[in-house]
Amino acid sequence: MEFNIEEYLNSLPDDVGTIDVSYKDLKYLPDLSRFKNLTILCCNNNQLISLPVLNENLTHFDCSYNKITSLPVLNKNLIKLYCANNELVSLPVLNENLMELYCDENKLRSLPVLNKQLELLYCANNELTSLPVLNEKLKYCYCSNNPIYHIIRHDILNILKKNIKIWNNFRYLYYCLKYKERLWKIRERIIKKIYHPSYLYKLTEDDDLDEKLEAW
């Protein structure tokens, strides 16, 4: 039986705190403004293209795995935002309380200014050519598979916590180190000491890099 979103929402009490309509093959999401106490909204894995205005008290919002091209304004209380695997080319201004942002697998070319409370950022598999200034509270930043040409400045890296993990396409790291000479340190445990980015300063030819990576 086909899921009727209107009937389902009409059956819910006004004070409901969680709405989960994931995996329902939805083409649209109706207005949810009557649910004043709504804090968790899951509409992931559908066929949504657009979204209604977000409720003021929403703290967790998952709209991943849809076909969404733009997000509404983020409400001030939002803490976790999952918007991965969509068709997003940009993001709205991040609200000040946001702590986790999952925006990987989109078409993002840039990111907005990161709010001061953000601790986790997933932005892999986009079209990013640069990263914004990383805030001091950021613990995890996954940005692999992006054409990032302007890598984070060493002075910005120096303010980050020790457990931050910066993942990036290794060849772009090489070019940034070879031509920009702006990255001094990357804290990645998986990179062996002899293949630490600082070692790449010694490489002068592209063939050198290919040979080292093949041996690794």
Residue 17 pLDDT class (50, 70, 90 cuts): very high
Is the confidence at residue 160, as pLDDT, over 60?
A: no
Which letter, b or e, does each residue of 52-77 get, where b requires 16 or more Cβ atoms within 10 Å of its Cβ? eebbeebbebbbbbbebeebeebbeb
| Architecture of the domain delimited by 1-146 | Alpha-Beta Horseshoe (3.80)
What pLDDT, on the 0 to 100 scale, is given for residue 1?
A: 75
Going by C-alpha positions, the residue among 151, 146, 135, 140 that lies closest to residue 105 is 146
- pTM of this prediction? 0.73
Q: Domain-by-domain residue ranges, the chain?
A: 1-146, 166-215
Residue 149 pLDDT class (50, 70, 90 cuts): low
| Average pLDDT over all residues of the chain | 81
Going by C-alpha positions, the residue among 33, 42, 37, 32 that lies closest to residue 17 is 37
